[in-house]
Copies of this chain bind each other. A is one copy, B any other.
């Protein structure tokens, strides 16, 4: 439970003013649903994997949209990794008395090497985790290691269940390579038990170990494979991945400013990451977060609200497989004469707002919590210490780094998969989030 201080640092008259502004912002966001319409347009372009042609189309779309809305726009150049999936992956059981010919739905993991034309064909060893793999290391040589641990549905916070399962994705290939495995399959890390595989980034390969290909399995096919291995432990699976990493390529962070009226060199960042995986349309992850950030600026503009400090909307590139955009902007922030006061990131889907997670000193946190009587009108239930966002955490010396936290019950149904499409975004949920972020950004500008 949140303990709040009954004495607010916002005097009563100011509170009335802020409440009036909050109501305007919420009303405009929910009634006009402008950002929702922009997200529809963005999603029509398709997914936006870093370095892809589509990502460049989307960057141009964003640049034009920001200019049309009347903002100053800066395309900040960033060199990004250029990992490409290539032709669709194949996986089939090629030797088995019972299961021969069964095809499995797989997706290469981001950063994985591909196989050669023939693919790899090997027996499969199923393990739950790295400890079990270590114990059974002698069985792994020459085989495909199948990490089959599922996202635990029993945790209320789905990010916790995700965190508990995701190391098989990030480190599985490295761990398996230690013991001479030739490939890795993981059960998709997802809360939805369909057969749509969920990808995501692996850590970089370790130079001292062989680089073995890694892919995720649809949840139902992971069940199938697990059952099949019980009946036929010696079945042989073929997997063929056509992915590869091309040389780094030029891309951009897309940045729009609403210039502050009194302290234009003091910056409040509102942001999301513009790249997505190459499936679905990256609607929740993180097209929606970007569009919310842009709508923050537009809400101020269309409602003639003039913040004292500059509100800067950043669409970071390459969060998914490199964070090069975040790092590049962090480098810029280190050297500019502008002062970065605070930064907000929306990268947990665009569902109904719950609260904000803050990295700051404790006095700043209390200050923010004292704004709750205003912020709660826009759906913010709490402000808690701890956590912010991958991209904004590259900005040093701010007073507060803040992650927007919406309801997370549906997020990992969609995350990193073909399920992450515009149709899964609810206009009111998304717009209420934009309003919540706008109001926090405004208070950060005026009161921090």
Contacts and interface: CB of A to CB of B under 8 A. Distances in A.
Interface of A: 1, 3-4, 6, 26-28, 30-31, 33, 152-156, 158, 191, 352, 354, 372-373, 376-379, 381-382, 407, 409-410, 426, 428-429, 432
B410 A153 contact: no
Given A409-B429, A410-B429, 7 more contacts: A1-B372, A3-B6, A26-B154, A30-B153, A156-B377, A156-B432, A381-B381
Contacts of A426: 409-410
Given A1-B4, A409-B432, A429-B409, A154 B376 contact: no
A376 B377 CA distance: 20
30 contacts: A1-B373, A1-B376, A3-B4, A3-B6, A26-B154, A27-B154, A28-B154, A30-B153, A30-B155, A30-B156, A31-B152, A31-B153, A31-B154, A33-B153, A153-B428, A156-B377, A156-B378, A156-B379, A158-B428, A352-B352, A352-B407, A352-B409, A354-B381, A381-B381, A381-B382, A409-B426, A409-B428, A409-B429, A410-B426, A410-B429
B428 A191 contact: yes
Contacts of A191: 428
B30 A154 contact: yes
Contacts of A372: 1
A28 to B, nearest CB: 8
A410 B428 contact: yes
